[in-house]
């Protein structure tokens, strides 16, 4: 079951998982304007409209931070994925994006599990997944049973549509830490 909310709402979650203390501290730093982590994420710039920019950092205990920015894409280009060895902690630092999330049983894999990439890719679902909007401070925690697709444009008339691409971090947290 995915967990979505503002980072400030995750106090009890992190209290129950003391092994995630460094994960929590990194996420707090990502939203702290004068921190090195926040400034590094905000400074990410792509040189072309279609370019994805990523920087990866080892945080220890098997946790990896991937700081990134990318252009949003239409729903028709959604990339549905899940993981087995890692839980994704995805925090929007600036900008905004939509996510679609559904239960793994509602999706059909396109290929077998790729252990080297910890990745399963899926066809678009026949059952509509949940659609969520992320903006600065929103954290999504996606477990192995959560098929998710991020980086999606807002659809329809939305007064909160983003003016610029998301700047975010994805923490790859080993399942064993939870």
For the segment 38-89, what is each residue's pLDDT rounded down to a tens digit?
Answer: 999 999 987 666 689 999 999 999 999 999 999 999 999 999 999 999 999 9
Give the span between the Cα atoms of 57 and 171, in whole angstroms. Answer: 9
What are the backbone dihedrals phi and psi of residue 11, each rounded to the nearest 5 degrees, phi first?
-55, -50
Question: pLDDT-derived band of residue 158, with 50, 70 and 90 as boundaries?
Answer: low
Question: pLDDT-derived band of residue 15, with 50, 70 and 90 as boundaries?
Answer: very high
Per-residue tokens: 80: 């549905």
pLDDT exceeds 60 at position 109: yes
Beta strands, E only, the chain: 3-6, 53-60, 63-69, 80-82, 86-94, 96-103, 120-122, 130-135, 138-142, 146-152, 167-174
- Pick the closest to residue 138 from 30, 17, 64, 36 (CA basis): 30
Which residue segments constitute the domains of the chain, with CATH numbers given? 3-177 (2.60.120.370)
């Amino acid at each position: 079951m995915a967990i979505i909310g503002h980072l400030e709402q995750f106090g009890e979650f992190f209290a129950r998982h003391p092994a995630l203390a460094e994960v929590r501290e990194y996420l707090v730093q990502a939203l702290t304007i004068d921190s090195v982590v926040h400034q590094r994420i905000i400074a990410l710039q792509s040189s072309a409209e279609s370019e994805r920019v990523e920087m990866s950092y080892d945080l220890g205990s098997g946790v990896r931070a991937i700081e990134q920015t990318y252009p949003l894409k239409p729903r028709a280009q959604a990339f549905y994925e899940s993981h087995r060895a890692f839980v994704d902690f995805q925090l929007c630092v600036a900008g905004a994006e939509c996510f679609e999330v559904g239960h793994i049983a509602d999706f059909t894999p396109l290929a077998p599990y790729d252990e080297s990439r910890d990745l399963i890719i899926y066809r678009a679902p026949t059952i509509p997944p949940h659609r969520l909007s992320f903006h600065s401070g929103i954290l999504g925690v996606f477990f192995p049973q959560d098929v998710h697709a991020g980086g999606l444009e807002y659809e329809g008339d939305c007064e909160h549509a983003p003016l610029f691409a998301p700047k975010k971090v994805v923490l790859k947290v080993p399942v064993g830490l939870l």
